[in-house]
Amino acid sequence: MCRAVFLLALTVLVCPAAEALDNGLALKPTMGWLHWERFMCNTDCDKDPNNCISERLYMQMADVMVKEGWKEAGYEYVCIDDCWPSHQRDAKGRLQADPKRFPGGIKKLADYVHSKGLKLGIYADVGKNTCAGYPGSLGYYERERRSAFADWDVDLLKFDGCYMDWKLLEKLHEHVKSTKQTGRSILYSCEWPLYEWPYKQPDYKAIRETCNHWRNFADVYDSWSSIKSILDWTASHQDIIVPSAGPGGWNDPDMLVIGNFGLSHDQQESQMALWAIMAAPLLVSNDLRDICPRSKKLLQNTDIIAINQDPLGKQGLCTIKMDSFEVWERPLSKKRLAIAVLNTQEIGGPRGFFIRAAPGWKICDPQCNVTQILPQYKELGVQTPHTKLVVSVNPSGTTLLTVTPTSDYAGLIL
């Protein structure tokens, strides 16, 4: 059974999250597109001009986001990851984009993205170098503040932590403090706790005061084993990380890899459902120009996105593990509950789960309305505490439900 669920639920529902970074941003989990998992550090624009890290790639993604319904669905950030800079700073010591791959510079790209009604994110590293070996910001924080990120009108800044002594990660405070002085509102995406966890438990109060969302665990890969490892880590550390999440600051389990190569459709549905339950940033890393219609429909599913973006702003929990099922539950606004039932078996066929076994089912007293969101939308009608309702869950798939009590329930949601 997922540990300390009842006490954690009490903490999450009664106690507000720690004070958030006061920049008015990320009041709901961030949504957008990020290049890294799909395009990585492909800089060979001679051999692969359509997929290399260049201004052309981001402009095309911005175009597709507007034309193909992504912006309308809520995806608003076009995010550059590592490998965008020149290997050399300019004559004044400033970061500069690779002149061949970004001939117009970052400001021109930002202007283009903004002209589409979208926002631009960019990547930096608090250490000497980025993870891919490009110039880092250590020793240049003030210069970066004055001459780069704000002048380029970027809207999101992702801070990595490669080539940095983990004991000096408070430098992130210094970097954020300096960039905040520009007067421009920039959303801060941090990897600070990811680099501290091997040595000590991070200070999530300080992290929440510094970052709008933060990575805790290893990079996601385009594989079900990677998704499972992220879910396992999150469930085993939820008593530490969940209380820190809320409007203005979110735990980031990394990118959505839906629409790529490594996940079955059931597994894609599981990632989407559970990222919604975890109130995770929805940063898609795929090729929006060439995505199968089924994956696109899943990523743009308004009912799942509504769970992710729910204004109550509470991260969900793994509430029980039993008989090769995991139940994840998230309290929603208007006293509702989202329930995700994951079938962890990877053999056989669909299996039934008695929904009343979910710990949060107690809100269905005296009765409730139940709606199935995944795998197909279905109104399941009015149910009672002793319902015989069984939901069918495919191997490595997830059934996602919302539960709306039909009268006030005075107890805890979870």
At 390, list the tokens. 């069984």
Reply yes or no on whether 219 is catalytic: yes
Opening angle at CA 116, ends 110 and 119, nearest 5? 45
Gap between the Cα atoms of 399 and 396, Å rounded: 10
For residue 306, CA distances in Å to 117, 231, 318 come to 21, 21, 20
From the candidates 82, 125, 155, 160, give the one annotated as an active-site residue. 160
From the candidates 63, 151, 203, 219, give the one annotated as an active-site residue. 219
Whose CA is closest to 213, among 253, 240, 180? 253
Cβ-based neighbour number of residue 69 at 10 Å: 14
**5 and 320 in contact (C-beta within 8 Å)?**
yes
SS3 274: helix
Strands (DSSP E) along 227-323, which ranges?
250-252, 282-284, 317-322
Gap between the Cα atoms of 228 and 235, Å rounded: 11
Reply yes or no on whether 290 is catalytic: no
At 260, list the tokens. 């790529």
SS3 67: helix
Gap between the Cα atoms of 104 and 385, Å rounded: 62
User: 14: which residues sit within 8 A by CB, 6+ positions away?
Assistant: none
Report the residue count for the chain.
414
**65 and 75 in contact (C-beta within 8 Å)?**
yes
For 369, counting Cβ atoms within 10 Å of its Cβ (0-12 exposed, 13-18 middle, 19+ buried), the class is middle
- For residue 324, is it left (φ>0), alpha (ψ between -120 and 50) or beta? left
Eight-class DSSP state of 391: E
Gap between the Cα atoms of 254 and 193, Å rounded: 13
Residues belonging to the active site: 160, 219
